Structure 1
């Protein structure tokens, strides 16, 4: 699903490095054009990867900034076309090719190793030439004011491909995943930074270590939020910058699906609890046995609007992120391009508002976690024992 879809899965990056002081968007267009997507429908190439228009993945001309610029946003999409030969089809055709070879050489009892490899490559090439490439498109929106980039895939293979092509495209820039500790550092007030640094269990700035050594952040956050869902009004206030006004109230709750992970005989055990929940008895029992919540459905409501997502605590990814719907007016056809631009801005408004609410919720948790946590943890432990 693309960024303009009502439901989308997203991860976020910080863009690091020096950008040109002048003509940034002109430079960006040249960079995108140099790494634009090349169609392979009329060739036998197996793979093509490059940039296309976010609004139209069939287009890859970046000569005009109107196709990749929306005010302070830089927008583009990663397109990957790949031909795949089904394994069963490959085996059948290779067997036939080997039989034909032996029939043409009656003195041979079997196909030699080198010849078998030659036949394999020939069969594979022939099948690839007869196979249409399968396209996949993933959107990227770069907010050049905050240098925060939103990407619409959570697949490790796709994100690795995107990160590599981005670095190749925009020389001198690189992407760093907005992992839990990095996101925490962005939302807490200056006064709490020393406490956060003290709580950081990583010994280096390496992203992988920051994620692995600070898994406590996501699991503590979800455990606290479960307690808040059942034992408090679950009302919070906007305390982070964004579209919503500071101080506005909103409600945040966990509901209907949680995933827990913990040790068991033979290795790690994953438990999924799904369906309408009353007191989350099964989840509370699992938490008493040292299981950790690693994923949960989160709903945030402000006035009549609602945002829903599956929050993945390990990486702070947002899967199935559903924001209030925006749509193109059916009778607005006199200026389709301007209406599509308006739709983009409306969509980014509601997406960013939902992430603003999430960051406000996270900041509220961190104030507790880095403050009187011992008292809160005691309350949570006593509450769990009542399950």
Structure 2
């Protein structure tokens, strides 16, 4: 669910590094440099990259620029190919039967473990090109004045992917803005010392 929906789940980050003033003029070019690459006509399993906030099919930001008032808005798109397990099992069984028939003609009695692994990989790659990738879009809002970033996902794998790709793109590291991290940004040293010594309360008998 994105930020334009009636409800949305998101993760907050703060930028751990100083943001150089020279970044802002080059930011649109960096987004285009690391934009999403289509894999419809390939057998690749996954692809990800930045796309326009207003149109996930737009990787050149012709629909609208990323600058929106006091925010930078864009999205992380990820396309994933998935082969249903039953389909893979069926076609692997067919491949194994064909291999057994060839072995029988050559006087061989069994298929080696290595050959079975090879057949499974060949079958997977062959099927990959026959399934269209499933697209997913995750909105990103970057508050320029505070350095707070909102990412429209709470999935741990997507959070890791977003953090790593953000750092690769902008050479800036992100820190999840957890309740503790938020308290650390608001409290003084004495208050943080008291916070660190707090013990949880047990409400169950």
TM-score by length of 2: 0.91
Q: Which residue of 1 aligns with 2:66?
A: 68
Q: What's the offset of the Cα at 1:65?
A: 10
Distance 1:199 1:156 in 2: 30
Residues 274-320 of structure 1 deviation map (CA, whole Å, 9 limit, x = unaligned):
xxxxxxxxxxxxx242xxxxxxxxxxxxxxxxxxxxxxxxxxxxxxx
Aligned counterpart, 1:105: 103
Number of equivalences: 203
Q: Which has the higher strand share?
A: 1
1:199 corresponds in structure 2 to: 194
Q: Name the residue aligned to 1:280.
A: none
Bigger Rg over Cα: 1
Structure 1 distance, partners of 2:79, 2:135, is 4
Q: What is the CA-CA distance between 1:66 and the residue it aligns to?
A: 4.4
Tell me which residue corresponds to 2:123. 123
Contact preservation (8 Å) 2:79, 2:134: yes
Equivalent position of 1:179 in the other structure: 178
Q: Distance in 2 between matches of 1:215 and 1:36?
A: 46
Provide the rounded CA distance (Å) in 1 between the counterparts of 2:181 and 2:114.
52
1:34 aligns with 2:33: yes
**Greater relative contact order: 1 or 2 (C-alpha under 8 angstroms, separation 6 or more)?**
2
> Which whole-Å CA distance do the structure 2 matches of 1:146 and 1:58 have between them?
29
Matches within 5 A, 1:99-178: 99-106=97-104, 107-171=107-171, 173-178=172-177
Task: Give the match's secondary structure for 2:56.
Answer: coil
5+ long unaligned stretches in structure 1: 203-213, 221-261, 263-286, 290-387
1:201 Cα deviation from its structure 2 partner: 2.9
What secondary structure, in the 3-state scheme, does the structure 2 residue paired with 1:94 have? helix
Q: Point out where structure 2 has 5 or more consecutive residues left out of the alignment.
A: none
Q: TM-score, normalised by structure 1?
A: 0.49
* C-alpha distance in 1 between matches for 2:73 and 2:95: 48
Q: Counterpart in 1 of 2:78?
A: 80
1:28 deviation in Å? 1.0
Query: Deviation at 1:56?
Result: 0.6
1:304-344 deviations in Å (ceiling 9; x for gaps): xxxxxxxxxxxxxxxxxxxxxxxxxxxxxxxxxxxxxxxxx
C-alpha separation in 1, matches of 2:126 and 2:48: 22
Query: Superposition RMSD on alpha carbons, in Å?
Result: 2.1
Paired with 1:68 and 1:215, the residues of 2 have a C-alpha distance of 45
Match of 2:16 in 1: 16
